Amino acid sequence: MTPSDTSAASGGLFKASAAARVDWVDYAKGICIVMVVTMHSVLGVELAAGETGFMHVVVAFAKPFRMPDFFLISGLFLPLVIDRDWRTYLDRKVVHFAYFYVVWVTIQFGFKAPAFAAETGWREVGLLYLESFIEPFGTLWFIYLLPVFFIVTKVTRQIPPLAIWLVAAALETARVTTGWTAIDEFCARFVYFYSGFLFAPYVFALSDRARKHPALSLVALATWVSVDGGLVVSGASEWRIVSLMLGFAGACAIITIGTLLARAHWCNFLRFCGEHSIVIYLAFFLPMAATRTLLLHTGLIADIGTVSLIVTVLGVLGSLAIWRAALRLHADFLFERPDAFWIAPRKAGTILQAAE
């Protein structure tokens, strides 16, 4: 199936989704972003404390699919916009994310610069800041990499999609390790993003089937949980090919879970998180780090698993609070691109979303 076939096959659905948000997509993105915050929160707490807690099990279980499903979902709506003129495409898919990367890498760096300077001096801090535009800084590598995926996908439009997918899959299984985050993560993740773009009609069909057959979907999910958990415990989840299969299986599972939650109208907070997933991704580092430091330094709670859980919850809630405060204080530029940074006609009511 070519990209043109993909767009045609999903025409009716995409026309509908262009006018309104797709509920299960927001649920799935909500699950993804909560898992990402959980991973950073738990591993950060455990590293600082020098021990692990019960939340470590959750992070280990989600590792095979945590980022694959995020990237796959990020590519789902690309057939809608892939044929836009280059000016508009670059504005929406490159400048859009580049702006927020520059703003938030500067903010993150500002908080960490004093500690860096104490170790290496301010000259090295300046060089490290400049390096962050080549080597993605901290948690922001996802924002850095998305524009690269968007450009590569459009540039390779004339190449047979199957050839691109096979190369992308080979790169994932090759376990490329250069020491450069952008290169290594591109090789490890592009296959999932491209699959979201290429197989979008099948992803939406999977969601439709899950909505129509919830009981069968629950059985499939139970099977997936046991298989994923068993492979993680045994260490087989890290094997070549197996990791690729678990990434896709986990992505399908999250799509199914998101669909079932949307069908039942449960856990609307997850849907809200999905609608603002990039807002959370950008801002969670500050409440996460502050809560971790406070709890570990004061020793108010002895159990590391409980500390990790609290840090995760406040990381999510704190990021949303920062967003709301920014809007109230007219600091919209933190989460909405100002007019001066648009290179194509602006869309009315544009907010920061992963699938725009």
Residue ranges per structural domain of the chain: 3-341
Rounded to an integer, the average pLDDT of 276-303 is 95
Of residues 93, 32, 107, the one with CA closest to residue 281: 32
pLDDT band at 298 (very low <50, low <70, confident <90, very high): very high
pLDDT band at 348 (very low <50, low <70, confident <90, very high): low
pLDDT band at 131 (very low <50, low <70, confident <90, very high): very high
Rounded to an integer, the average pLDDT of 65-80 is 95
Q: Residue 159 is encoded by which pair of tokens?
A: 């190449």
CA angle 321–325–329, rounded 5-degree value: 175
Rounded to an integer, the average pLDDT of 190-201 is 97
Name the pTM for this structure. Answer: 0.90
How many angstroms separate the Cα of 21 from the Cα of each of 45, 188, 192, 259, 353? 35, 29, 22, 13, 11
Rounded Cα gap, residues 198 and 75, in angstroms: 8
Q: Report pLDDT for 233.
A: 96
Q: Report pLDDT for 121.
A: 86
Rounded to an integer, the average pLDDT of 66-74 is 95
Whether the CA torsion 32, 33, 34, 39 is positive or negative: it is positive
Residue 20 has pLDDT above 70, yes or no: no
Provide the percentage of residues in the chain whose pLDDT is more than 90: 85
Rounded to an integer, the average pLDDT of 49-57 is 96
Q: Report pLDDT for 350.
A: 46
Number of helices (H) and strands (E), helices first, in the chain? 19, 0
Q: Are 39 and 111 in contact (CB under 8 A)?
A: no
pLDDT band at 11 (very low <50, low <70, confident <90, very high): very low
Tell me the pLDDT of the chain averaged across its residues.
91
Q: Please write the tens of the pLDDT for every residue from 320-340.
A: 999 999 999 999 999 999 999
